[in-house]
Structures are given as C-alpha cells and as structure tokens.
Amino acid sequence: MVYGKLNESDLLALQTEAQAQSQRLKFVIAQAAKLPAFAEASRVPANEVHGCEAQVWLVCSWQHNELELQLDSASRVVKGLLSLIYQALHGATPAQVSDFDLDALLATLGLQDMVSISRRNGLRAVVAAIQAQAMTS
C-alpha cells in the first residue's frame, strides 16, 4: 500500500481535515501538534537527516515487526509534514514501509503543490532513510 499503514478511512479523515482548513498551511502546522515529543537527548548529529532545509531528526527501531518511529524538526511546517509521515509509518510493517509513496500521500491530501521542491526532496530523504531501515529488518 503506497500510504504506509493508513487505510482508506484514515486517508478520508486526513483529506476531510485538510480540505476543511481555510488554509492548507494551517492544516500542516496543526499536524505538528500530533507528533509525539522527541527526546532532547536524541537531537544528536547521528540522528540528523541531511538533505533537508530545516534540521530534521529521525530515530527508527523495530518492535514485533512494526516500525517505532521518532521524528522532529526545528521548523513547524516541516514538523507538520513529518507528522503525516509518522501517521503513515509508525507501527507499519517492513512491507508497508517499503511500499510507501510520499508523493502519492501528498497528492491524495491535496498538498503536493504547496510543498516546495527543496522541502519535498528533504522529506524524500527522510522517507529514504526510514525505508533503508525497513530493508535491514
């Protein structure tokens, strides 16, 4: 499934929420609040994802064949976009992680045209790092 572990009803709920916002940017920023707190001790260079405009930190592990994901960013907009990735992949199986398509998710939510190319490339770097973890599990 290209949307990670998100099912059709999850996608519909996110679509409805995204479209209900008067501005899509407000929707993205509101998503940032859904991202669990990231431990200050994990904000180390080894956990930083390079290729992003804003600082992004990533910690992945596997518990019972499900992805345990921690993400954070210094930017509220990037943090909101990371929250969408988190919702799609936290608790996902390696196959769901491998099949995940960031561009398809952004298009489904109607966000593809508001995410700049450089920001999208940074998000792709995050997804690539997560998918690399899935291949080693």
Count Cβ atoms within 10 A of the Cβ of residue 109 and give its class: 0-12 exposed, 13-18 middle, 19 or more buried.
Answer: buried
Q: Which of 125, 123, 30, 97 is nearest to 115 (CA)?
A: 123
Among 28, 29, 32, 52, the one annotated catalytic: 52
List the end-to-end C-alpha distance of the chain, in Å, as a whole number: 18
Task: Note if 52 is an active site residue.
Answer: yes
Active-site residues, by number, are: 52
